[in-house]
Structure 1
């Protein structure tokens, strides 16, 4: 499938050969697919460039140094906006996100182009228990920060963003460049009044033997998320009258089945 307004954007950092499988699956589902290599040192930039040389539907952007997922996404969004794209489906390079659901996510976005389309993860039995339970706190805080704005899962990075509003949100502040990107982007876009569509999709955690890679550091990144939620709660309090007014006027968030 293809559309002149929508592209798939995959940030990648040291994900090994798994990124090639992710890209192949994404390309089977959509055109075009862009990969932003975020300063990888594992040689995957060369592998991806070789793949792009044989596939006009694949573009590879290589950043000189690692700056974080959000920074890589922002770089890709600015490039995409410059070429006339209005929406980007962002997915991880590590194989967790289901490429066979790209079409459904894009269709939901095309039906409601003003909306933020969020994947709502369905976890399998292999999902780490601590990760599944731990995200409940972040999801509860996101619900508080948006006064029930309808964010089904603030941490799941498989989602379709309207490019213009996201660039505007990220360009005004220095945050949202690393693991704080996914939850803060969803909350701040809700604050801007974007409606939310939650679309249930399966989520797969790959083992190390299957090529699974995680760069999440429990100490460092939980501190980052704690600071993020602190500033978002403070921001919610400052916006409370406007958020209450918006909540009264907004339609109920949609969850396609």
Structure 2
């Protein structure tokens, strides 16, 4: 990686993969990602010693293909790992971070199109909008709509088609600046909150359809109690934030 740069850097994307105990899936995911030729940052989110050893070996084997690794000593959660990765990439000269889940559920053949869209609209956040196959657990599929409704209420718009898919391209400078002022959470609530706040601040979101497959042996780190409490608190926090911004949001809709 290269030296730190200013926020006004040329288009220079990299792939960001947060990893927490996906030692069995990450090798295949990384191999497929590397076929597209972009630098890759692995963020070890306080994984077990077994997973950490796998990640160290992968980073060593693929160093010539610009694969690097950082480790968070204590598990932060998906949001914490993504924020750490965005900050790391920004400091090393990368303008955009395309986040890919480690478990292989994302359609990696969409990477070139996601990158091309980001290059065309470098100030926009490119958000994957999932198209599910029969592998999706039904309770997850239907439960997502509760979050969709809250997002539409809190933005007073349908700008965000899906706030929970992690397959995204983040402009590193703008996202780092936003999360320096608003944490957006460290666990599963991060995905939704950063999009809502992105819209509140007048930034552009580009929704792009992408197929999503749930691996049969996939490992989920969603904690039903803890994450549901955090997500409920996030929706409440955003709702009152929306009420404070109501005149501004209505004014924006009138202008539109």
TM normalised by structure 2 equals 0.91
Corresponding residue number in structure 2 for 1:254: none
Question: What is the RMSD of the two structures over their aligned residues, measured on CA atoms?
Answer: 1.5
Is 1:19 paired with 2:23? no
CA–CA separation in structure 2 for the residues paired with 1:169 and 1:160: 15
Corresponding residue number in structure 2 for 1:255: none
Corresponding residue number in structure 2 for 1:218: 224
Contact preservation (8 Å) 2:184, 2:194: no
Show the 5 A alignment for 1:86-105. Answer: 86-105=95-114
TM normalised by structure 1 equals 0.91
Post-superposition Cα deviations, 1:85-123, rounded to whole Å, max 9, x if no partner, equal 111111211111111111111111111111111101000
CA–CA separation in structure 1 for the residues paired with 2:254 and 2:158: 11
How many pairs does the alignment contain? 245
Corresponding residue number in structure 2 for 1:28: 35
Is 1:10 paired with 2:17? yes
Q: 1:64 to 1:109 in 2, by over 3 A?
A: same
Corresponding residue number in structure 2 for 1:59: 68
Contact preservation (8 Å) 1:86, 1:164: yes
Please, which of 235, 242, 253 is the counterpart of residue 247 of structure 1?
A: 253
CA–CA separation in structure 2 for the residues paired with 1:205 and 1:196: 25
Show the 5 A alignment for 1:129-148. Answer: 129-148=138-157
Is 1:158 paired with 2:164? no
CA–CA separation in structure 1 for the residues paired with 2:68 and 2:253: 40
Please, which of 47, 51, 54 is the counterpart of residue 44 of structure 1?
A: 51
Greater shift in the superposed pair: 123-132 or 37-46: 37-46
For structure 1, the residue ranges without an aligned partner over 5 or more in a row are 251-257
Runs of 4+ in 1 over 4 A off after TM superposition: none
Corresponding residue number in structure 2 for 1:205: 214
Post-superposition Cα deviations, 1:29-63, rounded to whole Å, max 9, x if no partner, equal 24101110000005122222222222222111111
Contact preservation (8 Å) 2:11, 2:96: no
CA–CA separation in structure 1 for the residues paired with 2:80 and 2:51: 19
Contact preservation (8 Å) 1:117, 1:161: yes
Shift of 1:245: 2.3
